Amino acid sequence: MAWFKKSKAPLPKASDKKVHMPEGLWTKCQNCQEIIYSKEIERNWNVCPKCDYHFRITSQERLDLILDKDSFVEMDVELKPKDFLDFKDSKKYRDRIKAAIKKRAINEAVICGEGTINELPVMVAVLDFGYMGGSMGSVVGEKITRAIEHAIDHRRPVIIFSSSGGARMQESIMSLMQMAKTSAALMRLKEMNLPFISVLLDPTTGGVTASFAMLGDINMAEPRALIGFAGPRVIEQTIRQELPEGFQRAEYLLEHGMVDMIVRRSEMKDRISQVLRMFFKS
């Protein structure tokens, strides 16, 4: 999603970044390096009890955390991405799709549907970073657009949880166009005076940040989440300068006026509920 200078050193693939999930009996926190009993982390919202580091969680875990029990009704479950360009790098896109579906047991990198938060009906979309880095191709764009249009038709607030490397390269120009499509849908939502909460999670960059994720009436972020337009490596290579401490972290965005609040995972549901009730009369 950005202009790269030719580099000799190969960049690690965004999608290869290990999502540090607590597994096994003990987990080493990647932030404070403490070895912690896994159950203790799980009980603590997948947040490190020693240093407050927020581990990445799956989209399903996110929904469980935010929505009232058994309230979620998923929409557009069947929609799968299409390799309409026959895109091939070291792997074929169609094989990457198959692998992602198998790995994550979902058809695309976003889950959308209706549910309730403390009994308030909402439309919710959660990007799944484990599915091709949560990247936005035309089906992700389509599902998010449909979710927003559904919210308009049924007068529901919209909440989108973003964690994404940006637009999906394998769908080239069609991925780019999803930025316009989703943002246009938000224009309509705004005209209908329906609130939109964007929650930016670790990490949110590129074409997702530069479209719907930055357009919340309220932008929330989890502590220390990496949020930006260009990735830090790209910036470093372009300006050949070391980046300041904490650059592009949630706290930095709060300081520079890009997000309204940083919300800890344990408080997320109640905070969203509080905010929505301020603006939304059902």
Cα–Cα distance between 126 and 62 in angstroms, integer? 8
The helix-helix angle for 268-279 and 59-66 (nearest 10°) equals 60
Here the tokens at position 64 are 């469980």
Q: Is 259 exposed, middle or buried (0-12, 13-18, 19+ CB in 10 A)?
A: buried
- Cβ at position 103, least distance to other proteins in Å: 17
Here the tokens at position 269 are 């549901």
Looking only at residues 204 through 263 of this chain, which bind Zn ion when binding is defined by CB under 5 A? Answer: none
Of the candidate residues 1, 41, 47, 48, the single one contacting Zn ion (CB under 5 A): 48
Beta pairing class for 120-127 and 73-75: unpaired
Measured from the CB atom, the residue of 120 and 177 that comes closer to other proteins is 177
Stretch that binds other proteins, among 28-36, 58-66, 177-185, 265-273 (CB under 8 A): 177-185
Looking only at residues 92 through 131 of this chain, which bind other proteins when binding is defined by CB under 8 A? Answer: 97
- Cβ at position 273, least distance to other proteins in Å: 26
The answer to whether 189 contacts Zn ion (rule: CB under 5 A) is: no
Of the candidate residues 179, 220, 226, 263, the single one contacting other proteins (CB under 8 A): 179
Q: How many CB atoms lie within 10 A of CB 86?
A: 8
Of the candidate residues 63, 218, 228, 275, the single one contacting other proteins (CB under 8 A): 228
Q: How many CB atoms lie within 10 A of CB 210?
A: 19
The answer to whether 195 contacts other proteins (rule: CB under 8 A) is: no
Closest CA relative to residue 199, chosen from 21, 26, 66, 68: 66
Cα–Cα distance between 144 and 181 in angstroms, integer? 9
Give which of other proteins, Zn ion, none residue 84 binds (C-beta under 5 to 8 Å, depending on kind): other proteins
Looking only at residues 16 through 75 of this chain, which bind other proteins when binding is defined by CB under 8 A? Answer: none
Looking only at residues 132 through 161 of this chain, which bind other proteins when binding is defined by CB under 8 A? Answer: 138-139, 141-142, 145
Cα dist from 158 to 17, 145, 235, whole Å: 29, 11, 32
Stretch that binds other proteins, among 23-31, 36-44, 116-124, 251-259 (CB under 8 A): 251-259
The answer to whether 254 contacts other proteins (rule: CB under 8 A) is: no
Q: How many CB atoms lie within 10 A of CB 32?
A: 12
Of the candidate residues 48, 67, 115, 171, the single one contacting other proteins (CB under 8 A): 171
